[in-house]
Chains A and B, each alone.
Chain A
């Protein structure tokens, strides 16, 4: 944090005073108060009166206590226009578009599993035929971790959970005949470093096909939280350097690929790793704040960077908490951009989200139940106006999804959209006393956690301190004990226990021959390229890291020279050195 005051302090000052127009008239509230007291004493059973507030226990839940019922008294001081407003208008509680899904339905962005570059090409084409309007590039583990398919560490991992894409030639095969100027691609790069390495390969592939970069739409994650907090890895670079690469990518993409979303603040994986929806939002926003500060210190204004910041949330079991989460997040992000950073363009105050339904909430027992769980998660996210959605497949607890389980996942979304009619009304749950109350609660709690992170010195320092790592380890331990004791109910596991034998699930098997094929393929790339050029590009990359130049322009030159991913990873570690995350147990 470079500012002297935290976001919470700034918002408290800037939003203090000013005339408020209460939604409920004081006389009505007085009558309600009196009637409520009487009703509690006469009608409500003593047992329910005693347990007026109950704390819900759910996987990944925040445990915000619930009253038996809610009335206007719980949101007595609400000012409709200031706190809720109209769809597409400030404070964007009700959504970022006036017509929401009537204008454009949520992007159905299935995550298409794994395979070789040729297999992925076929799978993507299948999904486009099924009506997918956006696609995700799920990378295999070596590609995610920045290792070439032929490094010893990659053995057993190549093409298992995604596609191997270690050099531009791979990207050309995987995207052959796919209209990349018409389909938006979420390239699931996760980390700042692999974004710096891989996005340029996509761009060079487009360049070779003659497609100008301003025609490309899509997103990368590019998130330090993923690289230095959520990820297990054999090597890390220090958080401060990782944060800088994240910002270099943003600067490069903003300038060179104007329609591309250069950062997805990923709450999802942190949440699924083990935390509450509150920490999920607080950490993502803390990173967002650190980014805007850094870009402003590089001389850009907050609108220049804010316009394309996107978020990625998990939607899990506690239905109304999830509903409130997205509404609260939109309002809070708006306040941060407007009042803390002085943004003028409404687009940069928008909190746009992709949602994936929670995988960690799904069970290996009776896996068909997971379709039902995911449908509730999906419904919650659509009721809160998410921009884009992926419904987790029911075989998540077994392996990466097969094509067979992908279909019900896409169908869940199509069914909600076409059959239930919930998309006709914008923010349909607004105005519920309970929903507005829990929205307020979530916002307040996120702001408090944000305050803690900012007091540690912002996202990079908070990660370096290890306090976030410990918070997660504690959550994992606590939650596991709560499931064991039955405090958290999991149907089929600890309540209504399954007597069924484990079902036959079709899983994608590891193909050992792929490793050998990949070795040969990469060897050919290294044998046929201009190796002098490749080494000079790598030397320039190391130099750029050390001298504080924007690294992404240098990884681009590496990609053009057919440098492979593993080679670039080594250049980064050579320049920045390594870092060890704190002991977590």
Chain B
């Protein structure tokens, strides 16, 4: 991570029409002192390109209507291709089936946040901070 603020690219799958979670979490991260780049609706490849251009530490995805696993796979694959998968922290939140949670974690998401317990403001912020700390070379 570069010196200074944690940089987060926040995005929603291209066709997702729900943006409440995206706005809510973006506001929380901004209030926690992070630099939030609001990308809005995009394809996974474009999300990765933006993260690269913006030297983002974190990519945050909010989803509701679609399969988070399908979008997540494509996102991680695109990140792999651009060589940012290892250094980037991926988090995802939204309305999705409970069984998607372990799958997303297994795939490589540092934080998975369906609504409810475990998805509070402090949970999301500390997840990002801890993941960044653990990536720092000792």
Residues of A in contact with B (beta carbons under 8 Å apart): 141-142, 144-145, 147, 152-157, 160-161, 230-234, 273-274, 360, 363-365, 397-399, 473, 476-477, 480, 484, 493, 498, 502, 504-505, 507, 509-510, 512, 583-585
Q: Is the CB of B65 within 8 A of A141?
A: yes
Q: Is the CB of A397 within 8 A of B70?
A: no
The residue in A156, A160, A399 that gathers the most chain B C-beta atoms within 10 A of its C-beta is A156
| 0/1 interface trace, chain B 67-88, chain A, CB 8 Å (1 if under) | 1011100100000000000000
Interface-facing stretch out of B91-99, B104-112, B124-132: B91-99
Question: Bound state CA distance, A141 and B65, in angstroms?
Answer: 7
Q: With A364-B115, A364-B116 in contact, do A156 and B22 touch (Cβ < 8 Å)?
A: no
Question: Bound state CA distance, A509 and B23, in angstroms?
Answer: 26
Q: Is the CB of A232 within 8 A of B116?
A: no
Question: Bound state CA distance, A360 and B18, in angstroms?
Answer: 12
Q: Is the CB of B20 within 8 A of A274?
A: yes
Q: Is the CB of A399 within 8 A of B95?
A: yes
Chain A residues near B42: list those with CB within 8 A: 234
Q: Is the CB of B14 within 8 A of A234?
A: yes
Question: Bound state CA distance, A161 and B15, in angstroms?
Answer: 12
Q: Is the CB of A144 within 8 A of B20?
A: no
Which of B15, B43, B114, B115 has a CB less than 8 Å from the CB of A145? B15
Chain B interface residue count, CB cutoff 8 Å, equals: 39
Which of A153, A233, A273, A364 has a CB less than 8 Å from the CB of B20? A273
Chain B residues near A141: list those with CB within 8 A: 15-17, 65-66
Considering the complex, which residues of chain B in the window 18-48 have a beta carbon less than 8 Å from any beta carbon of chain A? 18-20, 22-24, 26-27, 30, 36, 38, 40-43
Is B120 interfacial (CB 8 A cutoff)? yes
Is B60 interfacial (CB 8 A cutoff)? no
Q: Is the CB of B67 within 8 A of A160?
A: yes
Report the minimal beta-carbon distance from B48 to chain A, rounded to whole angstroms.
15
Q: Is the CB of A160 within 8 A of B69?
A: no
Q: Can you name 9 A-B residue pairings with CB atoms under 8 Å?
A: A153-B15, A233-B15, A233-B17, A233-B41, A505-B97, A505-B98, A507-B99, A510-B69, A585-B30
Q: Is the CB of B40 within 8 A of A232?
A: yes
Residue of A nearest to B116 (CB): A364
Q: With A147-B15, A399-B97, A583-B38 in contact, do A156 and B71 touch (Cβ < 8 Å)?
A: yes
Given contacts A152-B43, A363-B116, A364-B114, list 7 more A-B pairs with CB under 8 A: A233-B17, A273-B20, A398-B97, A399-B95, A510-B67, A512-B70, A585-B27
Question: Bound state CA distance, A583 and B36, in angstroms?
Answer: 12
Q: Is the CB of A232 within 8 A of B69?
A: no
Chain A residues near B4: list those with CB within 8 A: none
Q: Is the CB of B43 within 8 A of A153?
A: yes
Q: Is the CB of A585 within 8 A of B23?
A: yes
Question: Bound state CA distance, A69 and B24, in angstroms?
Answer: 37
Report the minimal beta-carbon distance from A196 to chain B, rounded to whole angstroms.
18
Question: Bound state CA distance, A298 and B88, in angstroms?
Answer: 56
Report the minimal beta-carbon distance from B50 to chain A, rounded to whole angstroms.
14
Question: Bound state CA distance, A502 and B18, in angstroms?
Answer: 24
Chain B residues near A156: list those with CB within 8 A: 13, 66-67, 69-71, 74
Residue of A nearest to B63 (CB): A156
Is B117 interfacial (CB 8 A cutoff)? yes
Q: With A155-B74, A397-B115, A493-B116 in contact, do A234 and B41 touch (Cβ < 8 Å)?
A: yes
Q: Which 8 A-B pairs have the closest CB atoms?
A: A156-B70, A364-B116, A510-B67, A232-B19, A507-B97, A153-B14, A157-B66, A234-B41
Report the minimal beta-carbon distance from B68 to chain A, rounded to whole angstroms.
8
Which of B13, B14, B117, B120 has a CB less than 8 Å from the CB of A484? B120
Chain B residues near A480: list those with CB within 8 A: 24, 27
Q: With A273-B20, A274-B20, A397-B115 in contact, do A509 and B97 touch (Cβ < 8 Å)?
A: yes
Q: Is the CB of B23 within 8 A of A145?
A: no
Residue of B nearest to A191 (CB): B17
Residue of B nearest to A161 (CB): B65
Which of A231, A398, A498, A585 has a CB less than 8 Å from the CB of B36? A585
Q: With A232-B40, A398-B95 in contact, do A476 and B24 touch (Cβ < 8 Å)?
A: yes
Q: Is the CB of A477 within 8 A of B24?
A: yes
Question: Bound state CA distance, A584 and B23, in angstroms?
Answer: 8
Chain A residues near B36: list those with CB within 8 A: 585
Is B121 interfacial (CB 8 A cutoff)? yes
Report the minimal beta-carbon distance from B94 to chain A, rounded to whole angstroms.
11
Residue of A nearest to B10 (CB): A585
Chain B residues near A360: list those with CB within 8 A: 20
Q: Is the CB of B15 within 8 A of A142?
A: yes
Question: Bound state CA distance, A398 and B94, in angstroms?
Answer: 9
Question: Bound state CA distance, A473 and B23, in angstroms?
Answer: 7
Q: Is the CB of A585 within 8 A of B26?
A: yes
Report the minimal beta-carbon distance from A39 to chain B, rounded to whole angstroms.
45
Is B12 interfacial (CB 8 A cutoff)? yes
Chain A residues near B12: list those with CB within 8 A: 232
Report the minimal beta-carbon distance from A580 to chain B, rounded to whole angstroms.
9
Q: Is the CB of B95 within 8 A of A397?
A: yes
Question: Bound state CA distance, A291 and B122, in angstroms?
Answer: 46
Q: Is the CB of B65 within 8 A of A160?
A: yes
Residue of A nearest to B119 (CB): A364
Chain B residues near A583: list those with CB within 8 A: 38
Report the minimal beta-carbon distance from A159 to chain B, rounded to whole angstroms.
11
Q: Is the CB of B98 within 8 A of A398?
A: yes
Question: Bound state CA distance, A584 and B30, in angstroms?
Answer: 13
Q: Is the CB of B70 within 8 A of A399?
A: no
Report the minimal beta-carbon distance from B102 to chain A, rounded to whole angstroms.
12
Which of B17, B30, B74 has a CB less than 8 Å from the CB of A231? B17
Q: Is the CB of B15 within 8 A of A234?
A: yes
Report the minimal beta-carbon distance from A266 to chain B, rounded to whole angstroms.
13
Q: Is the CB of A232 within 8 A of B66?
A: no
Residue of A nearest to B12 (CB): A232
Residue of B nearest to A226 (CB): B17
Question: Bound state CA distance, A399 and B63, in angstroms?
Answer: 11
Report the minimal beta-carbon distance from A489 to chain B, rounded to whole angstroms.
16
Chain A residues near B67: list those with CB within 8 A: 156-157, 160, 510
Question: Bound state CA distance, A584 and B25, in angstroms?
Answer: 13
Chain A residues near B121: list those with CB within 8 A: 484
Question: Bound state CA distance, A493 and B119, in angstroms?
Answer: 11
Question: Bound state CA distance, A476 and B65, in angstroms?
Answer: 20
